[in-house]
Amino acid sequence: MPIDLRQVAAISGFGGLYKIVKPTRTGVIVESYEENPKTMVAQARHRMSLLDEISIYTTDEEGTVPLAEVFERVHEKYGDNLPLSEKPSNEEYKEFMSEVLPTYDDDRVYVSDMKKLAAWYLILNKYVGFAAAEKEAETAEAETEKPEAKPAKKKK
């Protein structure tokens, strides 16, 4: 079960990722994923993208792979430590991407996209956590597998 990205957003012009807290009349209240979280209102003028709606272009017949699935592949392959140096070159990013998603479309996936992918993965791994997502999925599965309790019959 891939990580749940429905409440995680990237805001154009602002670095990092943001958790959607609640809607307001003029926008959405978001909280940054960082050591000292900052709360702000993202208004209509801010270009906000939910990570759940982002996909990576591929050359296979499907054409794209959801970002959550790509993050899951990175987590399975590398865990907490990405194979990138402190200041990775463009070739390092391309090699990393081809190891994680061999069918990525190198004409439409730019190095800047790969940099965001790596940075976002590190933020999500630190503040959201893939282990927490796995536990939530297991709990949800266990709850759906429990037999339904029949209501007791009322006595007249």
Mean pLDDT of 107-127: 92
Percent above pLDDT 90 for the chain? 54
**Pairwise CA distance, residues 17 & 75, whole Å:** 18
**Pairwise CA distance, residues 155 & 107, whole Å:** 71
Tell me if the pTM is above 0.85: no
Examine the pLDDT at 2 and tell me if it is beyond 70.
no
Q: How many CB atoms lie within 10 A of CB 117?
A: 24
Examine the pLDDT at 151 and tell me if it is beyond 60.
no
3-state secondary structure (DSSP) of residue 21 = strand
Examine the pLDDT at 118 and tell me if it is beyond 70.
yes
Selected residue with higher pLDDT from 152 and 111: 111
Q: Decide: 12 and 47 in contact? Cβ < 8 Å.
A: yes
Mean pLDDT of 22-35: 91
For residue range 104-113, what is the model confidence (pLDDT) as tens digits?
999 999 999 9
For residue range 83-107, what is the model confidence (pLDDT) as tens digits?
888 899 999 999 999 999 999 999 9
